[in-house]
Structure 1
């Protein structure tokens, strides 16, 4: 088998990796239902860490920032199937069946779902990935998606207030949000959207709260966090640069030395 296999069609994604751990982060724009076929997935949403083992089901809320580790089992492969529940499909289902959000749900971003024969049946019906990928099966895929949503509501009724909440992010506490999410390497435009602001309002509010330019604050905050992890936790630069929001190790090392006056691997003894 190849070390990596990733098949995408419409709103259904099948992922398969072997031989190595994959880590990274992503912005999730739509609700995603997932089933862990094999291996382990570790999620971190800035507040909480979640671990999903083989055979587990989960739903990740739209507009969520996630860091992840995908861990294959020993001598095995990591595999997962995910189904994207887009807003257009959910709106059409709301009109067809009268599904409504009764109240805004809590701020939980990742939901661990109980195992259920109905959900297992849905997963089994999605396994002929290549067949479902054919253009002639477009209607079948749409029916499968609708069936999945109905089953989710049947097995976890509280998801009604999650899936059918069509409101966009409202203006929230910017200071708390940024202190929780500074480790995510996303654009200022994305941060602005997730805090319910235009980019110009975000920048204005940010400078008023933090008395600093957003880009400069983010870099200093990330580097300070990296310094703490290296000094207090004994971590290495190669272990922390992605965790604190840098894209590559060389840029991280350059910025670290520029801020502190020494390389991450050369923290002076009086700093230890």
Structure 2
């Protein structure tokens, strides 16, 4: 492995080892599965639009499925960013909940991520997985499944109420589309993700959206993000500091769209 590499990642049977030498943001800001993670070195910043938190070496957190979430991975001053994460498959969670005769009473309202650093036994467990890296990367599904189940036992021993989160594998239900979009327009996800999270098919989402906002979703998203960008630029922020937070893929795309919409480049503000 040479230092010219930006990322090294192997994902086998839902256990993932990652290493980044430069600052890295996830492309699509959507969490599609439950996962347990530990930061080995560097920093991980998570932001769900309401809560923002930085996790450092030794910190552990649980990411909930079907959540809009921004990830920012920062290397340390003298070390790369390293993390280990374990994904929990929906089918396995369903089988375990049925085996336990678990009945979900109500859907839990909780943040997109939950810190678990105080659960020391979870920290020891996650650190121990580093010793199995070669086995897991050499495709040992039996070991991976065993470690997943072991992690769940430790999680539920730490906090039994986590079953109400992890055993809830149902699809999102239909919610207030206007309120949801006004709160989450700055997340960089595709329209079908927005539709899914509001409990709609893509066709129904587009129809409901145009009825509520009077315009097409893509046009509204672009204009809403550009209007927010202008406000932030006029407050003294730099374009390079805000474009990612507003859901744009890159700086050149943002600058082009801004100039086309307002007739002048962001730097003029």
Which residue of 233, 237, 241 maps to 1:230? 233
State the alpha-carbon separation in 1 of the partners of residues 227 and 185 from structure 2.
11
State the alpha-carbon separation in 2 of the partners of residues 257 and 138 from structure 1.
52
Q: Is the 8 A contact 1:7 1:13 kept in 2?
A: yes
Question: What is the number of equivalent residue pairs in this alignment?
Answer: 264
State the alpha-carbon separation in 2 of the partners of residues 87 and 41 from structure 1.
25
Per mean C-alpha deviation after superposition, the further-off stretch among 234-243 and 37-46 is 234-243
State the alpha-carbon separation in 2 of the partners of residues 138 and 213 from structure 1.
45
Q: Is the 8 A contact 1:101 1:162 kept in 2?
A: no
Aligned structure 1 segments of 4 or more residues deviating by more than 4 angstroms: none
State the alpha-carbon separation in 2 of the partners of residues 194 and 119 from structure 1.
30
Shift of 1:13: 0.7
Q: Is the 8 A contact 2:30 2:67 kept in 1?
A: yes
Alignment of 1:11-30 (within 5 A): 11-18=14-21, 20-24=22-26, 25-30=28-33
Shift of 1:212: 1.5
Which residue of 185, 190, 199 maps to 2:188? 185
Structure 2 residue 119 is matched with structure 1 residue 119: no
Shift of 1:211: 1.4
Which residue of 92, 95, 98 maps to 1:92? 95
Alignment of 1:172-251 (within 5 A): 172-232=175-235, 234-251=236-253
Q: Is the 8 A contact 2:58 2:123 kept in 1?
A: no
Q: Is the 8 A contact 1:71 1:78 kept in 2?
A: yes
State the alpha-carbon separation in 1 of the partners of residues 136 and 12 from structure 2.
8
State the alpha-carbon separation in 2 of the partners of residues 251 and 121 from structure 1.
44
| Local SS of the residue matching 2:68 | strand
State the alpha-carbon separation in 1 of the partners of residues 100 and 138 from structure 2.
28
Give TM-score scaled by structure 1 length.
0.92
Which residue of 56, 63, 66 maps to 1:63? 66
State the alpha-carbon separation in 2 of the partners of residues 107 and 22 from structure 1.
26
Structural RMSD (CA): 1.6
Q: Structure 1: which 5+ runs fail to align?
A: 268-272
Tell me the alpha carbon deviations over residues 187-233 of structure 1, each in whole angstroms, 9 at most, x when there is no partner: 1111111000111211121112111211110000011111112111x
By relative contact order (CA 8 Å, sep 6+), the higher-ranking structure is: 2
Identify the residue that residue 131 of structure 1 maps to in structure 2. Answer: 135
| Local SS of the residue matching 1:126 | helix
Give TM-score scaled by structure 2 length.
0.92
Shift of 1:43: 0.9
